[in-house]
Amino acid sequence: MNHLPKPRTLRRGEDFAEAGLAAPDQIETIDLVARRYAVAMTPLLAELAEPGGPIARQFVPDMAELESDAHELADPIGDQTHSPVKGIVHRYPDRLLLTPLLHCPVYCRFCFRRERVGGEEKALNDAELAAALDYIRAHDEVWEVVLTGGDPLMLPPFRLAALLAALEAIPHVQVIRIHSRIPIADPERVDADLVAALTGVDVALWLAVHCNHAEEFSPAAVGACRRLSAAGIPLVGQTVLLKGVNDRAETLEALFRAMVRNRIKPYYLHHPDLAPGTGHFRTSIAAGQTLMRALRGRVSGLCQPTYVLDIPGGYGKVPVGPAYWNGETVTDWQGAQYNYSTLTSGDVKK
């Protein structure tokens, strides 16, 4: 029997140095950042990462995180503005967020909830969860419940199953969507018990898998995604556009091809939110639009996410992708423009 200790999650500067992801003179910096924001990187991702590479950049703390711009916000997408009950964010009429816990297997350095995740209040208690469910029951316009966090798949399978059953019992809830990093960051958790919890309800359940670079698709992650899709769970992909990680057309192409190859439909490409200390990750919207235009001719529609911006202050998520139609001319994937009204007459004007 193998009695070797299980590799531990990286949380301290010394952990990152031992993993070869930080120089000795960076230990103090990492620990300084860790006193301000939650830090965690799974052993699997640490093994995949190269120092300074796209995976390391997402999870290894940087001193830049302690430098905030005046326009950055502690609550960049206005969760608190739309939170009538603890654990609920009700921004749109027909759907809402339910946050059962604020604990994650990894803590992304660009997280828009970085002021809240990993703190002392890691999970709703029984009374708080009951109040959140009562709110959903009282609002029959709610068609879809999005479980987010934190990472909902960090819940023990029996607790997750009980929560899903409670939501399924609400007649007007027709869809449950779960947002998770676990299939990529900690795929061993996607075991038979977790799959059974996810498939134990008849209500439509979708899983949004967060992944930002093709290198994150380890064999273990591929296996986890296949177990989920084989169980009949539809998978969609969420990606954050990050400077120095995936802000090149060929990088996004490789990522979205990897997603589709693993039966994950790219869903959203998020423009980074204005969370404090994340300016070193943000590109301009114009740069993101250029990337999306480049992807149009490089990959099929299956590989095309919607490029979106969460309007600061809680005003909602909107597409900000490039426009191909201006009321008179239409632009093809190579950038050529055509007069739409004359295309069928044989008199094409460029």
At residue 1, the pLDDT reads 47
* Amino acid, res. 165: A
Question: Is the domain of 309 the same as that of 169?
Answer: yes
| Active-site hit among 31, 92, 159, 227 | 92
Give the pLDDT confidence of 144-203 residue by residue, as tens digits.
999 999 999 999 999 999 999 999 999 999 999 999 999 999 999 999 999 999 999 999
3-state secondary structure of 54: helix
- For residue 35, indicate whether it is catalytic: no
Domain residue limits at 259 = 76-319
Question: Is the domain of 244 the same as that of 329?
Answer: no
Instruction: Give the chain's residues under pLDDT 70.
Output: 1-6, 120-121, 344-350
Question: Is the domain of 327 the same as that of 209?
Answer: no
Question: Is the domain of 310 the same as that of 219?
Answer: yes
Give the pLDDT confidence of 302-331 residue by residue, as tens digits.
999 999 999 998 999 999 999 899 888 999
At residue 259, the pLDDT reads 98
Question: Is the domain of 167 the same as that of 209?
Answer: yes
| Active-site hit among 151, 273, 293, 303 | 273
Question: Is the domain of 343 the same as that of 254?
Answer: no
Question: Is the domain of 203 the same as that of 341?
Answer: no
Q: What's the rounded Cα separation, in Å, for the pair 145 and 301?
A: 27
Residue located via tokens 């597409």: 319
DSSP string, 268-304: EEEPPP--TT-GGG---HHHHHHHHHHHHHHS-GGG-
At residue 70, the pLDDT reads 87
- For residue 91, indicate whether it is catalytic: yes
34, part of any domain: no
Bridge partners (DSSP) listed for residue 269: 239, 307
Question: Is the domain of 269 the same as that of 338?
Answer: no
221, part of any domain: yes
- For residue 113, indicate whether it is catalytic: yes
